[in-house]
Amino acid sequence: MKNEPVVTYNHMEEDDAGRTVYPEAQAKESLPISLYMLLVVDAILVSAIVFLTFKVIF
C-alpha cells in the first residue's frame, strides 16, 4: 500500500460554510420587509389622495 494521507472531517469548515450563506439569507429576508413597508406607505398616500378628492368634490 502507498502512504496516502488520511482525509479527516473538519467541523470548522462546515461551520464556516454555514456562516457564509447566512448574509445572503438575511438579505433575502429583509427584502420582503422593505416591500411591506413600501406597501403601507403607498396605502397611506392613496388613502390621503382619496380623502382629499372627496373633500374637494363634496
Model confidence pLDDT, tens digit, residues 14-53: 655 555 555 666 555 556 678 899 999 999 999 999 999 9
Residue 29 domain-assigned? yes
Statement: the pTM of the whole predicted model exceeds 0.85: no
Residue 13 belongs to some domain of the structure: no
Read off the pLDDT band of 4 (50, 70, 90).
confident
- Residue 43 grid cell: 396605502
In this model, does residue 58 exceed pLDDT 90? no
Q: What is the pLDDT of residue 19?
A: 53
Residue 47 included in any domain? yes
Residue 37 to residue 43: CA distance in whole angstroms: 10
pLDDT of residue 3: 78
Residue 27 lies in a domain: yes
Would you say residue 3 lies in a domain?
no
Hey, what's the cell of 5?
Answer: 494521507
The total number of structural domains that make up the chain:
1
Whether 10 is covered by a domain: the verdict is: no
Residue 1 grid cell = 500500500
Please check whether residue 2 lies inside any domain of the structure: no
- Show the domain range for 39: 21-58
User: Which amino acid, 4?
Assistant: E
